[in-house]
C-alpha cells in the first residue's frame, strides 16, 4: 500500500525544509492499527518542532503532525472491532500522511455525531486547556486570557466559566479574533 507523508529531515523554516515523500507501508505490527487519514490540521505545535525549538527531545527525520482523524483500514485480531471506525491516532509517527500506523491502545474512537473537522482538532488544544485549568483552579477568580483568539484560549474561556470563574476577559490584536471572541459566552 502506498503512503504519502510530509517529512522533516532537518530543522529549519517549515516552508523551506518540509518534503512530500511517497513510500510503501510496512507490515503492520502486533496490537497496531492502520488508519487512513481523513483530516490533519496545521497547529503551531506541529510547526514549532520543525524549527528545532524542541531539538532536545525531537530529532529529524520525522513525519510532521500531532492531530488528525481517520478511518481504521486494518487492525490486528484483538482490535478488529475498530475496523471501519473513525479514530484519533495518538502518538503515531505523525499525522501529516495518508496512512498512519499507531498502537491500537492509543487510538481514540470518535463518536459518529462529531464531525471530522472537530475531531481532527480534539487533542492538543483541548488537553492543554484542561491541564491548565486543573493546575491553576479558577473557581471564584477573574481570568485574563492573552492570545484570546486562539483555539486554546477559546477552550480556556468557555471551560473557566464552567469551572466557576467569576468572569473571563481576553486580549487579542486582530479584528478577526475579536469577532471570534465575541461569539463565545464568557460570563454567567
Rounded CA separation 101/103 (Å): 7
Tens digit of each residue's pLDDT (9 = 90 or more) over 131-151: 999 999 999 999 999 888 888
Q: Given the C-alpha cell 490584536, which residue does it identify?
A: 173
Give the residue with greater pLDDT, 182 vs 26.
26
What is the DSSP pairing of strand 62-63 with strand 32-39? unpaired
The pLDDT value recorded for residue 188 is 45
Tens digit of each residue's pLDDT (9 = 90 or more) over 27-81: 999 999 999 999 999 988 899 999 999 888 899 999 999 999 999 999 988 999 9
The gap between the terminal CA atoms of the chain, to the nearest Å, is 53
Sequence length of the chain is 188
Domain layout of the chain by residue ranges: 2-119, 124-182
- CATH 3.90.180.10 applies to domain 2-119: yes
Amino acid at each position: 500500500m502506498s503512503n504519502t507523508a510530509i517529512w522533516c529531515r532537518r530543522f529549519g523554516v517549515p516552508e523551506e525544509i518540509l518534503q512530500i515523500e511517497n513510500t510503501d507501508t510496512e507490515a503492520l505490527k502486533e496490537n497496531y492499527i492502520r488508519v487512513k487519514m481523513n483530516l490533519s490540521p496545521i497547529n503551531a505545535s506541529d510547526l514549532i518542532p520543525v524549527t528545532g525549538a524542541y531539538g532536545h527531545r525531537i530529532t529529524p527525520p520525522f513525519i510532521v503532525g500531532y492531530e488528525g482523524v481517520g478511518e481504521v483500514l486494518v487492525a490486528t485480531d484483538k482490535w478488529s472491532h475498530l475496523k471501519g471506525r473513525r479514530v484519533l491516532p495518538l502518538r503515531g509517527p505523525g499525522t501529516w500522511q495518508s496512512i498512519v500506523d499507531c498502537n491500537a491502545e492509543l487510538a481514540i474512537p470518535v463518536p459518529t455525531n462529531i464531525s471530522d473537522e472537530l475531531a481532527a482538532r480534539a487533542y492538543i488544544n483541548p488537553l492543554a486547556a484542561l491541564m491548565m485549568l486543573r493546575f491553576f483552579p479558577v473557581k471564584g477568580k477573574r481570568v485574563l486570557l492573552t492570545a484570546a483568539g486562539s483555539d486554546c484560549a477559546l477552550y480556556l474561556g468557555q471551560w473557566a466559566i464552567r469551572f466557576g470563574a467569576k468572569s473571563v476577559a481576553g486580549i487579542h490584536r486582530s479584528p478577526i479574533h475579536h469577532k471570534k471572541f465575541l461569539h463565545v459566552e464568557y460570563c454567567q
